[in-house]
A and B are shown apart, each in its own frame.
Chain A
Amino acid sequence: MTADEVAAGLPESLDEIAQDFAALSARDRLTLLLDFSDELPELPERYQGHAELLERVDECQSPLFLVVEVEGAHDALGSQQATVRLFFQAPPEAPTTRGFAGILHEGLDGLTVAEVLAVPDDAPYRFGLGEAVSPLRLRGMVAMLARIKRQVRIKSAA
Chain B
Amino acid sequence: MAVASDDNISFKDYAHPERLVSTEWLARQLNDGVVGSSDLVVLESDEDVLLYETGHIPGAVKVDWHLDLNDPVKRDYVDGRRFAQILGERGIGRDTTVVIYGDKSNWWAAYALWVFTLFGHQDVRLLDGGRAKWVAQGREMTRDVPDRTIVEYPVVERNDAPIRAFRDDVLAHIGQPMVDVRSPGEYSGELLHMPDYPQEGAMRGGHIPGARSVPWARAAAEDGTFKSRVDLEAIYVDEQGLAPSDDVVAYCRIGERSSHTWFVLTHLLGFERVRNYDGSWTEWGNAVQVPIEVGAQ
Binding site for B on A (CB under 8 A): 30-31, 33-34, 37, 58-59, 61-62, 92-97, 99, 132-134, 136-137, 139, 142-143, 146-147, 150
Contacts of B24 in A (CB 8 A): none
Interface residues in B49-77 by Cβ distance below 8 A to A read 49-51, 53-54, 66-67
Contacts of B103 in A (CB 8 A): 93
B53 adjacent to A34 (CB under 8 Å) = yes
B194 adjacent to A95 (CB under 8 Å) = no
Q: CB < 8 Å: which of A59, A134, A139, A143 contacts B49?
A: A134
Chain B, residue nearest A31 (CB): B53
Within the complex, the shortest CB–CB distance from B144 to chain A, in Å, comes to 13
B50 adjacent to A143 (CB under 8 Å) = no
B49 adjacent to A93 (CB under 8 Å) = no
Chain B, residue nearest A143 (CB): B198
B50 adjacent to A59 (CB under 8 Å) = no
Contacts of A31 in B (CB 8 A): 53
Contacts of A147 in B (CB 8 A): 197
Main secondary structure of the interface of B (DSSP, over half): loop
Contacts of B51 in A (CB 8 A): 93-96
Contacts of B197 in A (CB 8 A): 58-59, 143, 146-147
Within the complex, the shortest CB–CB distance from A13 to chain B, in Å, comes to 22
A25 to B55, CA, bound (A): 21
Residues A134 and B66 in contact in the complex (CB < 8 Å), given A31-B53, A37-B54, A142-B198: yes
Residues A62 and B47 in contact in the complex (CB < 8 Å), given A93-B103, A136-B66, A137-B66: yes
B48 adjacent to A30 (CB under 8 Å) = no
Q: Which 8 A-B pairs rank lowest in CB-CB distance, beginning with the nearest?
A: A95-B50, A96-B50, A134-B66, A133-B49, A96-B48, A34-B53, A95-B54, A96-B49
> Can you list 10 residue pairs at the A/B interface with Cβ under 8 Å?
A37-B50, A58-B197, A59-B197, A92-B54, A94-B48, A94-B51, A99-B50, A132-B49, A136-B66, A137-B66
Within the complex, the shortest CB–CB distance from B178 to chain A, in Å, comes to 26
Chain A, residue nearest B200 (CB): A139
A99 to B51, CA, bound (A): 11
Residues A30 and B49 in contact in the complex (CB < 8 Å), given A37-B54, A134-B66: yes
A61 adjacent to B47 (CB under 8 Å) = yes
B48 adjacent to A93 (CB under 8 Å) = yes
Tell me if B196 is interfacial: C-beta within 8 Å of chain A.
yes
Interface residues in B71-116 by Cβ distance below 8 A to A read 103
B200 adjacent to A30 (CB under 8 Å) = no
* New contact pairs (15) apart from A97-B48, A143-B198, CB-CB < 8 Å: A30-B49, A30-B50, A30-B53, A33-B50, A59-B198, A61-B47, A61-B48, A93-B103, A94-B51, A95-B53, A96-B48, A96-B50, A133-B50, A133-B67, A134-B49
Tell me if B31 is interfacial: C-beta within 8 Å of chain A.
no
Contacts of A92 in B (CB 8 A): 54
A136 adjacent to B200 (CB under 8 Å) = yes
Could you give, for residues 215-235 of chain B, a 1 whenever the CB lies within 8 Å of some chain A CB and a 0 otherwise?
000000000000000000000
Tell me if B289 is interfacial: C-beta within 8 Å of chain A.
no
A142 to B198, CA, bound (A): 8
A150 to B194, CA, bound (A): 15
